[in-house]
Every structure is written in C-alpha cells, then in structure tokens.
Amino acid sequence: MAYKGNKFFLPSKDCVICGKPFSWRKKWEKCWDEVKYCSDRCRKQKSNS
C-alpha cells in the first residue's frame, strides 16, 4: 500500500562522483534525465575529478 512519504516507489540513480544512490525529487521533475550528482558538494567536485 502506497502512502505519502514512501520513497520506495520513486526512481533512483547513482551519483557519478561518489557512487551513492539518490532518489527523485520534486525539484528535478522536469530535468531528471540531466541530473548526475547527489549533492552540491559532488557537483562542485566534478572539475577536480
């Protein structure tokens, strides 16, 4: 049974920097295909890697 707050059914991806899985967020609704990083910290490290 699905209920509000259950993240089990949301799509997820692995971060390209740290490899940790992260789930879909409402703010990424229109750009989910372009999201590569789990956080601002990983996004800022992309130039160092």
User: Residue 1 pLDDT > 60, yes or no?
Assistant: no
| Phi/psi-derived region of residue 42, left when phi > 0, alpha when psi is between -120 and 50, beta in every other case | alpha
**This prediction's pTM:** 0.74
Q: What are 9-25's pLDDT values in tens digits?
A: 889 999 999 999 999 99
Q: What is the pLDDT of residues 17-49, one digit of tens each?
A: 999 999 999 999 999 999 999 999 999 997 765
Check pLDDT > 80 for residue 6: no
Contact 44, 18 (CB under 8 A): no
- Position 3 confidence tier, pLDDT thresholds 50, 70, 90: low
- Phi first, then psi, for residue 13 (nearest 5°) are -140, 165
